[in-house]
């Protein structure tokens, strides 16, 4: 486990983008696992800047973690739209090499199976993660048992409240999502988890320093052989750096 603490989100985003560049340059056909949410926007901004400086993304494949159920891909708050807005419309990744779950299909079980086949076909070299205030990664919410494969999840009230800032009203927030399972996340060659702000400090400390528990899904990352936590000073506030692994 590696922990890196930065003065601000821009510096953290640049560091995460440099890790992605290393993964991209280190493989003939690199696969990036991607996340959404405000935390990863600095990462995408810096990755776009690297492309503007000459980094070629035409040979990479991307696999997103999750998508809301009930929002069509063109909905402004769908994760399809988020990714297009912050990355895909600004770089040269062919559309045929971009994969995001479709939460608008009638057969969700078939969609989950389709997505697991994609993950098997394209092993992930670098997985980017955020962390929810309740410790979720992807939309793997705290539970008695974490599901290993792509699945439909009922979003917790805490997650719905947190995500309501992106909608006009909390009643508009979808209550279900499709998410990649924890097995696929842990099978990534390298994992980069990003977290910013004092409101994430308590859960970050639990994820890094606490016991590995299913009610804190991010704590399972302690079992991974190559995970990097990219934090700002606020999110690292409750860590004791003397205990760094």
* CATH code, domain with 146: 3.40.50.1360
Active site residue 141: yes
- The domain total for the chain is 1
**Regions of the chain where pLDDT drops below 50:** 241-245
Residue 176 φ then ψ, to 5° = -135, 160
- Count of C-beta atoms within a 10 Å radius of residue 39: 25
Active site residue 136: yes
Distance (Å) of CA 185 to CA 104, 124, 221:
23, 8, 9
**115 inside domain:** yes
**35 inside domain:** yes
In the numeric block, which tokens belong to residue 33?
């696992």
Q: What is the pLDDT of residue 243?
A: 47
- Catalytic choice (11, 134, 158, 202): 134
Q: What is the pLDDT of residue 242?
A: 35
Q: Which domain holds residue 135?
A: 2-196
In whole angstroms, what is the distance from residue 156 CA to residue 13 CA? 28
- Catalytic choice (67, 141, 151, 224): 141
Residue reference for tokens 């060659």: 189
In whole angstroms, what is the distance from residue 208 CA to residue 62 CA? 27
Active site residue 134: yes
**126 inside domain:** yes
Task: Decide: 15 and 61 in contact? Cβ < 8 Å.
Answer: no
**24 inside domain:** yes
**234 inside domain:** no
**228 inside domain:** no
DSSP state of 134: T
Q: What is the pLDDT of residue 158?
A: 87
- Catalytic choice (21, 46, 66, 125): 66
Q: What is the pLDDT of residue 173?
A: 87
**231 inside domain:** no
- Catalytic choice (136, 151, 224, 232): 136
- Count of C-beta atoms within a 10 Å radius of residue 95: 7
In whole angstroms, what is the distance from residue 217 CA to residue 135 CA? 6
**241 inside domain:** no
């Amino acid at each position: 486990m590696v922990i890196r603490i930065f003065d601000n989100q821009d510096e953290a985003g640049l560091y995460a983008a440099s890790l992605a560049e290393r993964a991209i340059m280190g493989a003939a056909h690199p696969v990036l696992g991607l996340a959404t949410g405000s935390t990863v926007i600095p990462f995408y901004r810096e990755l776009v800047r690297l492309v503007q400086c000459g980094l070629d993304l035409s040979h990479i494949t991307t696999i997103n973690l999750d998508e809301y159920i009930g929002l069509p891909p063109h909905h402004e708050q769908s994760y399809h739209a988020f990714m297009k807005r912050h990355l895909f419309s600004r770089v040269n990744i062919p559309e045929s090499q971009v994969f995001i779950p479709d939460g608008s299909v009638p057969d969700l079980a078939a969609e989950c199976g389709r997505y697991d086949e994609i993950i098997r076909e394209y092993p992930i070299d670098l997985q980017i993660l955020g962390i929810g205030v309740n410790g979720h990664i992807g939309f793997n919410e705290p539970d008695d048992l974490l599901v290993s494969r792509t699945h439909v999840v009922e979003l917790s009230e805490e997650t719905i409240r947190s995500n309501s800032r992106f909608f006009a009203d909390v009643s508009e927030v979808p209550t279900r999502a499709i998410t990649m399972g924890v097995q696929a996340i842990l099978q990534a060659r390298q994992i980069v988890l990003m977290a910013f702000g004092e409101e994430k400090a308590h859960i970050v400390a639990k994820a890094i320093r606490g016991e590995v528990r299913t009610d804190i899904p991010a704590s399972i990352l302690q079992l991974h052989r190559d995970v990097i936590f990219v934090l700002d000073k606020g999110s690292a506030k409750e860590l004791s750096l003397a205990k760094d692994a």
